[in-house]
């Protein structure tokens, strides 16, 4: 359904994409993972035809994005990262406008709007202006617009950014259902657990390159050790130095096959320094440990990346 | 869905947005009507001295103010483009199967209609209040005005294509309204312009529109007498359309601080 071959894109001296290649089969969900500035949104924009790549080729359903843009757009549903809505117009008016431009009309338009709005709990908000919606409702409407064409390839760029728990759950359920019905989905996100929930295949994007590609299970298997993260008030004690895999001035990460046993030993050997422990976290083998192994960095639960110094 | 229907969908959406706050355009009708009575007596004597003994000043003040104030439509139409970038709806539309010309045509439709409506209202209301006599062909008058409306839409497209911030659009709109009206004979009758203006006046669209209006309103002429002004307006409009087509980049970011957004 989607083939990306050696795509490169620079903004002046800044390399956003550096020879990215990937392919997706019908019904596959691809989780595009990476920190801010990794190139995820640029890649989504190139696939959507919003940006021209400097090099390489993108094909959607066999159509070249650069050579057959209209054919490609008929196969795409896109929810860009930024919420794009007419704030002064009603929810229904927004849906009908974008639905019409997507090629729907008459009864088909009515049916499709109703179907999409129902699936995202928007029907009761039809008459409300978009600028009167909550953040989560706006995000649902934004995503609904992308779903209107019923396109075989859906590009969702951080669809749950800033969304409440209810909206996030609703969107993840919907994405899973659409994929099971055959829609191919490219899902750029900050949130590792969303990719795990969706059981998506994963492409880890780092500085414009894909540094890892595979299923969640495949990537997790590459880093099958848990790790213990200890945050200290003040400097890290010397006794932990030998075990450190990543640190900044006050935080250490220690790989551990049996984290409970390792932690018990560490606490005993730290002596008085143990009183300066601010927090201890045991991170079990997961996509997060895989990401750490690949990049030397980890995500926090809020989705913001924490970089080692 | 045909291309024309997609353009109409875009135009209807712009109309719905316009109806949320039509005040900016309503002002473009009210303001000139408020200004007209102040200029009429001056124009009356100026035109009578200029071998039009039956003129009452409305022949200058109505079309002159209509031409000057309609130019501020550049701001309104520019806003309709630039806010799409600020609202992130421009890229949303570009992701859909809509051709660039369909977007441009759709976005041009409402300004064109509003220009025509503004001119119609000013000539009708202004004509009624200030006793404007159309001595020549009404059809010729409409052809001149329609040509100016088409010229202005082409100018708007070129302005939007070349400007990257809304502040630039605002500057073009304000400067254009005053300069074109001044040197084009919309504020002062063409015959009363200083001699140095002879060289620059033909560069102003207002000059050609006023020449056409004068032929109909003062000289009582028919369509044949306005063919040159109409030809110049349509020709220069075509040049601006080409300039717009050459420069327009659909993936170019546009921004600036937009009023009320």
Q: pLDDT tens digits, residue range B69-98?
A: 999 999 999 999 999 999 999 999 999 999
Is A52's Cβ below 8 Å from some Cβ in B? yes
Q: Is the pLDDT of residue A81 over 90?
A: no
Question: Which pLDDT belongs to residue A165?
Answer: 83
Backbone angles phi, psi at B142, to 5 degrees: -70, -35
What is the SS3 assignment for A246?
Answer: strand
Q: Is the pLDDT of residue A301 over 50?
A: no
Is A217's Cβ below 8 Å from some Cβ in B? no
Q: Which pair of structure tokens corresponds to residue A117?
A: 């709005």
- Among residues B153, B149, B193, B224, which one has the least CA distance to residue B60? B193
**Cα–Cα distance for residue pair B183/B3, rounded to 1 Å:** 40
- Among residues A111, A104, A141, which one has the least CA distance to residue A126? A141
Asked if B1 lies within 8 A of A51 by C-beta distance, the reply is no
Residues of B with Cβ-Cβ distance to A83 under 8 angstroms: 88
Q: What is the end-to-end Cα distance of chain A in Å, rounded? A: 40
Mutation for B interface: A47, A49, A84, A130, most B CBs within 10 A: A84
Nearest to A84 among B10, B87, B99 (CB): B87
**Cα–Cα distance for residue pair B21/B42, rounded to 1 Å:** 36
Asked if B97 lies within 8 A of A70 by C-beta distance, the reply is yes
Query: What is the rounded average pLDDT for all residues in chain A?
Result: 84
Q: Which pair of structure tokens corresponds to residue B171?
A: 């500057």
Question: Which pLDDT belongs to residue B50?
Answer: 81
Is A108's Cβ below 8 Å from some Cβ in B? no
Asked if A100 lies within 8 A of B88 by C-beta distance, the reply is no
Asked if B95 lies within 8 A of A78 by C-beta distance, the reply is yes
Query: Could you tell me what percent of chain B has a pLDDT over 90?
Result: 67
pLDDT band at B137 (very low <50, low <70, confident <90, very high): very high
**Cα–Cα distance for residue pair B233/A216, rounded to 1 Å:** 65
Residue whose token pair is 């040509």? B147
Residues of B with Cβ-Cβ distance to A84 under 8 angstroms: 87-92
Q: Which chain B residue has its CA at the smallest distance from A145's CA? A: B92
Min Cα–Cα distance to chain A from B48, Å? 51
Q: Is the pLDDT of residue A298 over 80?
A: no
Q: Is the pLDDT of residue B169 over 90?
A: yes
List pLDDT tens digits, range A25-44.
888 999 998 888 888 889 99
Mutation for A interface: B1, B86, B92, B105, most A CBs within 10 A: B92
**Cα–Cα distance for residue pair B178/B196, rounded to 1 Å:** 18
pLDDT band at A240 (very low <50, low <70, confident <90, very high): confident
ipTM score above 0.90? no
Question: Which pLDDT belongs to residue A307?
Answer: 39
Asked if B16 lies within 8 A of A50 by C-beta distance, the reply is no
Min Cα–Cα distance to chain B from A235, Å? 46
Asked if A73 lies within 8 A of B93 by C-beta distance, the reply is no
Calculate the dihedral angle through the C-alpha atoms of B159, B163, B169, B174, rounding to the nearest 10 degrees: -70
Q: Which chain B residue has its CA at the smallest distance from A104's CA? A: B1
Asked if B87 lies within 8 A of A87 by C-beta distance, the reply is yes
pTM beyond 0.90: the answer is no
Q: Which pair of structure tokens corresponds to residue B116?
A: 């025509």
**For residues A227-242, average pLDDT:** 76
Greater pLDDT, B192 or A10: A10
């Amino acid at each position: 359904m989607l083939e990306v071959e050696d795509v490169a894109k620079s903004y002046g001296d800044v390399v956003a994409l550096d020879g990215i290649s990937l392919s997706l089969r019908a019904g596959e969900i691809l989780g595009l993972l990476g920190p801010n500035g990794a190139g995820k949104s640029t890649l989504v924009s190139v696939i959507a035809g919003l940006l021209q790549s400097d090099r390489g080729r993108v094909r959607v359903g066999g159509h070249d994005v650069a050579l057959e843009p209209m054919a490609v757009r008929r196969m795409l549903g896109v929810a860009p990262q930024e919420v794009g809505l007419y704030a002064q117009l009603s929810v229904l008016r927004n849906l009908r406008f974008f639905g019409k431009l997507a090629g729907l009309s008459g009864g088909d338009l009515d049916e499709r709007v109703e179907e999409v709005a129902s699936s995202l709990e928007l029907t009761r908000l039809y008459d409300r202006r978009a600028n009167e919606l909550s953040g989560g409702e706006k995000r649902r409407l934004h995503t609904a617009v992308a779903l209107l064409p019923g396109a075989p390839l859906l590009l969702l760029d951080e669809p749950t950014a800033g969304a409440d728990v209810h909206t996030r759950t609703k969107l993840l359920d919907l994405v899973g259902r659409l994929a099971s019905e055959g829609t191919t989905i490219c899902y750029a996100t900050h949130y590792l657990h969303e990719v795990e929930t969706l059981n998506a295949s994963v492409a880890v994007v780092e500085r414009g390159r894909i540094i890892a590609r595979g299923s969640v299970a495949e990537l997790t298997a590459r880093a099958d050790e848990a790790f213990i993260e200890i945050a200290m008030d003040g400097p890290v004690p010397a006794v932990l130095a030998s075990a450190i895999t990543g640190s900044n001035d006050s935080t250490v990460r220690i790989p551990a096959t049996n984290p409970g046993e390792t932690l018990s030993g560490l606490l005993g050997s730290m002596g008085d320094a143990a009183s300066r422990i601010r927090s201890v976290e045991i991170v079990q083998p997961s996509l997060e440990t895989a990401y750490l192994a690949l990049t030397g960095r980890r995500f926090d639960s809020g989705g913001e990346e924490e970089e080692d110094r | 869905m045909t291309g024309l229907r997609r353009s109409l969908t875009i135009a209807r959406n712009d109309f719905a947005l316009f109806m949320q706050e039509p005040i900016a355009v309503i002002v473009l009708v009210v303001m000139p009507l408020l200004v007209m009575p102040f200029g009429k007596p001056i124009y009356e004597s100026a035109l009578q001295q200029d071998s039009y003994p039956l003129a009452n000043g409305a022949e200058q003040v109505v079309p002159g103010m209509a031409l000057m104030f309609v130019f501020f439509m550049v701001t309104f139409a520019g806003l309709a483009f630039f806010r799409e970038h600020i609202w992130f709806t421009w890229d949303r539309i570009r992701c859909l199967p809509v051709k660039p010309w369909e977007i441009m045509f759709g976005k041009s439709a409402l300004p064109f209609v509003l220009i025509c409506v503004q001119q119609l209202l000013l000539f009708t209301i202004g004509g009624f209040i200030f006793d404007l006599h159309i001595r020549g062909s009404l059809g010729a008058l409409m052809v001149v005005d329609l040509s100016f409306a088409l010229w202005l839409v082409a100018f708007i497209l070129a302005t939007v294509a070349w400007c990257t911030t809304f502040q630039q659009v605002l500057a073009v709109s304000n400067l254009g309204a005053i300069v074109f009206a001044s040197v084009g004979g919309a504020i002062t009758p063409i015959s009363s312009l200083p001699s140095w203006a002879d060289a620059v006046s033909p560069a102003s669209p207002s000059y050609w529109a006023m020449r056409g209006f004068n032929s109909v309103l003062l000289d009582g002429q028919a369509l044949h007498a306005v063919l040159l002004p109409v030809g110049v307006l349509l020709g220069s409009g075509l040049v601006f359309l080409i300039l717009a087509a050459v420069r327009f980049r659909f993936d170019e970011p546009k921004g600036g601080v937009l009023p009320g957004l």
